[in-house]
Amino acid sequence: MPKFRDYSEYKNYSEGEMIERSQKYLEEISIRRTVREFSDKEVPKEVIENCIRAAGTAPSGANQQPWTFVAVNNPKIKKIIREKAEEEEREFYEHRAPEDWLEALEPFDTDAHKPFLETAPWLIPIFVQRYGKSENNKRIKHYYTTESVGIATGILINALNHCGLATLTHTPSPMNFLNEILDRPKNEKPFLLLVVGYPKDGVQVPDISKKPLNQIAKFV
């Protein structure tokens, strides 16, 4: 059983402060955009470390924290990841992708060519720990793993955006090659591959909008 303590870190803001903070946060996160063209400018490792630490504060089922973040900066490993990912993407686009999915992707001009996997300074493959291991190698059941890792990933993307970095959520299917390349154990399953770096100078993004509040929320 965990021990309990006073939540002394909690900060209580006035209603005015809360509204102001919520507005500032909305302004900051609203400019976040996914990019597909990255600069090769290096990002300090300490920034990536701190953002992953932030992701690690996410809530999780029974506080089991069923995630592994593998931060890849090594050019040779990034090249191998790109080769394997493009191989899977070619198979997907040419043989496995349903027509309605290809039609949905058409406005975004995506294909099997993924140069950003080498250009961006950091790749962060994120793994779901489907079960844990005790010190004596006994299997430990994990709960709500996908939900927990999804929340942690959202916090990571937000933290990176807060630092002035761009991201791309890449999900080649299947992604099992990441286990082999990165020497991950069998209890870990790839969740997604997060591409991280500075946007390339002059990069363009799709001219799209997000749904308004009345289409995504109901207040009762």
Tens digits of per-residue pLDDT, 145-179? 999 999 999 999 999 999 999 999 998 778 999 99
Name which of 180, 208, 191 is nearest 84 in CA terms.
Answer: 180
Predicted local distance difference test score (pLDDT) of residue 95: 75
Which two three-digit tokens encode residue 189?
A: 């399953």
Predicted local distance difference test score (pLDDT) of residue 174: 84
Q: What is the chain's length?
A: 220
Find the helix or strand (DSSP H, E) in which 64 lies.
Answer: none
- Which amino acid makes up residue 143? Y
Over residues 44-86, the pLDDT tens digits come to 999 999 999 999 999 999 999 999 999 999 999 999 999 999 9
Give the chain's domains with CATH numbers: 35-201 (3.40.109.10)
